[in-house]
Structure 1
Amino acid sequence: MAMASTYAPCGAEALAPGRAKVRAPVGFLGLGPSKAGLPRPLAATKRPAAGPAPAASSPRLRCSAASSSSARPVTAPRFIQHKKEAFWFYRFLSIVYDHVINPGHWTEDMRDDALEPADLYSRHLKVVDVGGGTGFTTLGIVKHVDPENVTLLDQSPHQLEKAKQKEALKGVTIMEGDAEDLPFPTDTFDRYVSAGSIEYWPDPQRGIKEAYRVLRMGGVACLIGPVYPTFWLSRFFADMWMLFPKEEEYIEWFTKAGFKDVKLKRIGPKWYRGVRRHGLIMGCSVTGVKRERGDSPLQLGPKAEDVSKPVNPITFFFRFLMGTICAAYYVLVPIYMWIKDQIVPKGKPI
């Protein structure tokens, strides 16, 4: 596999109730390439990690807790994270998504690496790909699972039209739906996959709770998403654009939803050489196992965001415009990192 990756296990015993602290996570802040130019590995787990064995001084991912609210504050700036803005954003982005966006943030090697923890070991597994968009991640799933056993769901009909045009996805059930309110019975699927979708969920905890509900006992959820940047300019654009969770937040959301054996695997384009300070739109793959039948034990209130309510057109336009500007920054970042990879001698940090 082209990219080095690491796993970080964490369970309920390592977390107190509530959200991760606002401070940058231990083992993440300042995480960059080692002297060899590879990512510094996290704590060892039962799964073998790619790359050299961890040194004694390597940082270990720790889970921390603070307030009791799992949802992002309503007052937090979210210019494009709102579902309604995202709907129109992808109305235009769907035209170039596979050919312009994916090559910089979500390559085939990254996809295969990120899906490995989902343990797609049988062609007969029943799998749902939530927020699957144009079906790029679904193409990785049908390498291992018969298309007739796969369901692709997304809120964007424009993205789904692109998915329907892909020959390899013929036989896949393709449908519109909301990640925070899945239209499936409890205990339906063997595997739940979601890649590049959580950043648009107003309440990630609700979406992960839904992942737990629709899985059968013994089923595995695999959620692939961004990581929060530590570089000040990247952090500014991340906060303005959409949700970039911290690693501890992912683990906490999974644990509170009821998942066991929660693990986090870091992924990234090979030309980043492990550098994560700018944030990665596809930066980690988090998995958890459902050990009991039925719904999640977590109780939540009403949805944080109702897309059926009317929106002030001026507010909508401003958020859409600002979100598009911030998105452009994150199109330039991988180009910048690719150029540095070409210029800086191999084996040296970038």
Structure 2
Amino acid sequence: MISQRVGNVPTLQCPAKQVGPLRHRRTPVQRRLGRGQGLQIVASQSTASGPRFIQHKDEAKTFYRFLSIVYDSIVNPGHWTEDMREDALSVAKLDSPDLKVCDVGGGTGFCTLGIVKNVKPQNVTLIDQSPEQLAKAKGKPALQGVRILEGDAEDLPFQTDEFDRYVSAGSIEYWPEPQRGIKEAYRVIKEGGTACLIGPVHPTFWLSRFFADAWMLFPKEEEYIEWFTKAGFTDVQIKRIGPSWYRGVRRHGLIMGCSVTGTKPKAGDSPLQMGPKIEQSGSSSANPIYTLFRLILGSLAGFYYFLLPVYMWLKNLVWPKNWEM
């Protein structure tokens, strides 16, 4: 089990012993790769299962065309609260107002609001593929001065070694190639810089797992570690996050369930070798009716994750208990 305290890294409590924060552990893939310097690593596809009806860039873009209207008032209260944001960003090392930070897939700027509490707005860049989400961000007074761009998380329009910090919250679930997006995170930050990726956790409970896999990508904790490590990051760590009243982040999953960090050990591009992108935004040739069908099915599956936090909140009112995972 894990006990959550805002601002503190939780500890994993196993039945037999207690260990520290979730840290990098070498997976079978990593053991095969070894620790050699200059090693070229070839990427593999994610092993996360499920049809994922909202998994393509154009589907996500259409989905947010409508969700942007109510995102801050509907999604955030159950999955991405201000306390969770502060907890998740506490490991991002936003320890100087002069840091240069990019917020990738920043949407309406909710996470950016947390970043500019510690970093000068003029040093922050927010990028997202949804113009509707970005319009919401542009309207927030606290984000005046932030550079706001439309772009692709898997093909960032930035120079190599341009930023001190990389942050991405609630975006990886829509990336067709998560490994490519994390490789880009490595490329755009400077040597010694930190990347912080905040995203869903794959559920272990069968019903929650069914709806998660039908909706969008909910990576496993082991996948996050593998993607970061293969991209070249060191000191890879995972911190589980969640509302204080939500029980079972690993059992039921959360749209914002963990904060993953890694350090870039040396300047330059990632050692990871990848082929051409498998998908470009705006390149879909799918039948519009088929796309609409997928969006409807995906949205219905996602509705489960709007009801689940309400259930957890009501359950906590009736049966208060220390938060568990």
Q: Structures share a fold, TM > 0.5?
A: yes
The answer for unaligned runs of 5 or more in structure 2 is 33-41
1:325 aligns with 2:288: no
Is contact 2:209-2:252 (8 Å) kept?
Answer: yes
- Contact 2:247 2:312 survives alignment (8 Å): no
1:57 aligned onto 2:17: yes
1:254 aligns to 2:228 (yes or no):
yes
1:276 positional shift: 2.8
Q: Secondary structure at the match of 2:60?
A: helix
| Structure 2 Cα separation of the partners of residues 179 and 246 of structure 1 | 20
Aligned counterpart in structure 2 of residue 338 of structure 1, from 307, 313, 325: 313
SS in structure 1 of the partner of residue 192 of structure 2? strand
- Counterpart mapping for 1:190-269 below 5 A: 190-269=164-243
CA RMSD of aligned residues (A): 2.6
1:168 aligns with 2:142: yes
In structure 2, give the amino acid aligned to 1:299. Answer: Q
**Secondary structure class of the residue paired with 1:133:** coil
Asked if residue 186 in structure 1 is aligned to residue 146 in structure 2, the reply is no
Q: Deviations over 1:96-121 (max 9, x none)?
A: 10011101000000001000111111
Counterparts of 1:69 and 1:142, CA distance in 2: 34
- 1:71 positional shift: 2.1
Deviations 1:70-112 (A, max 9, x none): 3237995121121111101100110110011101000000001
After superposition, the Cα gap between the structure-2 partners of 1:240 and 1:59, relative to the gap in structure 1 and judged at 3 Å, is farther
Structure 1 residues 285 and 120, CA, compared in 2 at 3 Å: closer, same or farther? Answer: same
Cα distance change of structure 1 residues 345 and 149 upon mapping to structure 2, 3 Å threshold: closer
Please say if residues 201 and 256 of structure 2, whose CA atoms lie closer than 8 Å, have aligned partners that are also in contact: yes
TM-score, normalising length: structure 1:
0.82
1:87 aligned onto 2:61: yes
2:91 partner SS: helix
- Structure 1 moving runs of 4+ over 6 Å: 51-55
SS at match of 1:216: strand
The one of 285, 289, 294 equivalent to 2:268 is 294
Call closer, same or farther: CA 1:123–1:74 in 2, change over 3 Å: closer
Checking the alignment, whether the CA contact within 8 Å between 1:268 and 1:274 is kept in structure 2 is no
Letter in 1 for 2:64: Y
Question: Identity rate of aligned residues, in percent?
Answer: 67
Paired residues of 1:217 and 1:293 also in contact (CA < 8 A) = yes
Q: 3-state DSSP class of the match of 2:252?
A: coil
- Alignment correspondent of 1:177: 151
Q: Structure 1 residues 170, 302: closer, same or farther in 2, change over 3 A?
A: same
User: Post-superposition shift, 1:305?
Assistant: 2.0
TM-aligned CA deviation for residue 291 of structure 1: 1.2
Aligned partner of 2:38 in structure 1 is: none
Amino acid in the other structure paired with 1:279: G
Q: In structure 2, what is the Cα distance between the partners aligned to 1:90 and 1:48?
A: 32
Contact 2:43–2:272, Cα closer than 8 Å, also in 1 = no
C-alpha distance in 1 between matches for 2:117 and 2:324 = 35
Equivalent pair of 1:70/1:253 in contact (CA under 8 Å): no
TM-score normalised by structure 2 residue count: 0.88
Give the Å deviation of 1:348.
8.6
Higher mean C-alpha deviation, range 138-147 or range 310-319: 310-319
The answer to whether the Cα contact below 8 Å between 1:63 and 1:248 also exists between their aligned partners in 2 is: no
- The verdict on how the C-alpha distance between 1:309 and 1:80 changes in structure 2, with shifts beyond 3 A counting, is closer
Distance 1:343 1:181 in 2: 47
Alpha-carbon distance in structure 1 between the residues aligned to 2:255 and 2:168: 13
Q: How far did residue 48 of structure 1 move? A: 6.8
Structure 2 residue 249 is the aligned partner of structure 1 residue 310: no
In structure 2, C-alpha distance between the alignment counterparts of 1:139 and 1:168, rounded to whole Å? 7
Amino acid at match of 1:284: C
Report the counterpart of residue 77 of structure 1 in structure 2.
Answer: 51
Alignment partners' CA distance in 1, 2:9 and 2:48: 38
Task: Name the counterpart of 1:8.
Answer: none
Q: Deviations over 1:227-263 (max 9, x none)?
A: 0001111101111111000001001100000011111
Task: Tell me the equivalent position of 1:129.
Answer: 103
Asked if structure 1 preserves the Cα contact closer than 8 Å seen for 2:201 and 2:249, the reply is no
Amino acid at match of 2:17: S
